[in-house]
Structure 1
Amino acid sequence: MRAVAVIPARYQSSRLPGKALALIAGRPMVCHVAERTRRARGLGQVIVATDDVRIRDAVQPTGVEVAMTRADHPTGTDRLAEVAARLDADVVVNVQGDLPFVEPAMVERLVARLDADPSLPMATLAAYIRDEAEWRSPHVVKVVAGLDGRALYFSRSPIPCDRDGARPADEPFGLRHIGMYAYRRDVLLRLASLRPSPLERREQLEQLRALENGIAIGIVEWQQAEPLVEVDTQADLERARAMVDGGGR
């Protein structure tokens, strides 16, 4: 099974413009993501997909391949699919360009999940939420899974609801979705060809398009030692910088 990792990276961002090139420890964030992804075992190729020459020029010195894409993609999935359409790959791993501390093992575990279950179309990561404010935040995407380890639903709302306060104090509030995916290549191309679905539009979550169209998503639980930083705002960026300055990464 040949696996390829693609890192979609765009310059424009509604909440943090230019974040792909934001400096962390003196280097662009996208370069941190690319180099850490490249350490994952079993990948046939790592590609940064972008429509911006500034990102291309920043990544090229790392030796990671860059694929220039169209500028009119409405979502990162569409950008990913444009690159996947011309790849010789069985599995395509989508590594978000705003995960500066992505662990190579995350990529490896996603690929391993699809390798272990040929019936599974795609897989993603999730980590336990132990902070109530994080669980309640609409900026944190939550996921609930069935007993078979497949996603039942993703939401910005705090799920599962603790209606009667019955959650034991030592149990997590729920699962936080980590925006990395492994797709079988044909599934990715099919997803990109589908129209945005009703729940996808309502929650503004692309992964709901898969569930609404009957495409199962396997959940891989990531037992992280510390919270994973996803850089979406200036505050997230400052937190990432502080972690590096403090020796945490």
Structure 2
Amino acid sequence: MKIIAVIPARYASTRFPAKLMQDLGGKTVITRTYEAAIETKLFDDVFVVTDSELIFDEIISNGGKAIMSIKAHESGSDRIAEAVEYLDVDIVVNVQGDEPFINKEPLEKVIEVFKQDEARQIDLASPMLEITDETEINNPNNVKVVVDQSGFALYFSRSVIPYPREKNVGVRYFRHIGIYAFRKQALLDFYSLPMKSLEASEKLEQLRYLEFGKKIKMVETSHVGIGIDTPEDLEKANEMIRKLDN
């Protein structure tokens, strides 16, 4: 089974333009992320896929592997699918380009799902984190997921799911962590399928997979990535780098 990591990397960002090319301890954010993915030793290969010549040149000039997007894409899955269409690969893991402090544990868990899936019933795997704070549960920026008794995703939403009409029934709430592992065919299928109403309403690409019958296996984790979404996040990340270097 050949397993690769693909890091989708857009240059534009609404909250923090060009964040992937910002300096983080003497290297760009995207280079740090690329090197961290390699250092996990979980992948047969690692690629950055991007719409930016600056990012492409940055990775290539540092000895890495990059793929230039041919088309404009609305989602990370679309960008990755185009990139891997002609690659000889079985499992593709989406690594977020703005998370240079990669934690190995959730990546190992989503990869292990496919190693155990001898019947090939699983199309995607993704981690989830239990949340108990009401503010977090009600925050629409935290995507929630509900699963069946076998751990397969039933639905994802920015709303509170399940709705707590009855408080004392032992419901657990889970936040979806945006790491995905795909069978290559599931990605290619996604690429050819239209966006339907659920995905359009919630602005969540994983709903396209569910709307078209794909099976998403969720795995519980206690680890959350440290993303760089604002200049303040970058400063915190640089502080972490300085502490690690000392």
Query: If the length of structure 1 is used for normalisation, what is the TM-score?
Result: 0.88
Post-superposition offset of 1:47: 0.3
Residue correspondences, number:
244
> Aligned to 1:101, what secondary structure does the other structure show?
coil
**Alpha-carbon distance in structure 2 between the residues aligned to 1:50 and 1:77:** 12
Query: Residue 200 of structure 2 aligns to which amino acid in structure 1?
Result: R
Post-superposition offset of 1:108: 2.4
Shifted more, 230-239 versus 16-25: the winner is 230-239
**Alpha-carbon distance in structure 1 between the residues aligned to 2:13 and 2:86:** 26
Give the aligned partner of residue 191 of structure 2.
192
1:103–1:61 CA distance, 2 compared to 1 (3 A) = farther
Alignment partner of 1:206 is 2:208: no
Query: Residue 47 of structure 1 aligns to which amino acid in structure 2?
Result: F
Give the aligned partner of residue 15 of structure 1.
15
Post-superposition offset of 1:98: 1.9
Give the aligned partner of residue 4 of structure 1.
4
Structure 1 unmatched ranges of 5 or more: none
Q: Percent identity?
A: 39
Kept in 1, the 8 Å contact 2:121–2:215? The answer is no
The aligned runs of 1:43-192 (5 Å cut-off) are: 43-117=43-117, 118-166=120-168, 174-192=173-191
Give the aligned partner of residue 231 of structure 1.
228
**Alpha-carbon distance in structure 1 between the residues aligned to 2:139 and 2:237:** 19
Kept in 1, the 8 Å contact 2:103–2:225? The answer is no
Post-superposition offset of 1:237: 3.6
Query: Residue 222 of structure 1 aligns to which amino acid in structure 2?
Result: T
> Aligned to 1:209, what secondary structure does the other structure show?
helix
**Alpha-carbon distance in structure 1 between the residues aligned to 2:226 and 2:222:** 14
Query: Residue 81 of structure 2 aligns to which amino acid in structure 1?
Result: A
**Alpha-carbon distance in structure 2 between the residues aligned to 1:128 and 1:31:** 31
Structure 2 unmatched ranges of 5 or more: none
**Alpha-carbon distance in structure 2 between the residues aligned to 1:75 and 1:153:** 19
* TM-align CA RMSD: 2.3
**Alpha-carbon distance in structure 1 between the residues aligned to 2:29 and 2:169:** 38
Query: Residue 132 of structure 1 aligns to which amino acid in structure 2?
Result: E
Post-superposition offset of 1:245: 4.8
| CA offset digits 1:17-39 (Å, max 9, x no partner) | 11212333332221222111112
Kept in 2, the 8 Å contact 1:143–1:177? The answer is yes
Post-superposition offset of 1:167: 6.9
1:246–1:121 CA distance, 2 compared to 1 (3 A) = same
Query: If the length of structure 2 is used for normalisation, what is the TM-score?
Result: 0.89
Give the aligned partner of residue 240 of structure 1.
237
Post-superposition offset of 1:126: 1.2
> Aligned to 2:56, what secondary structure does the other structure show?
helix
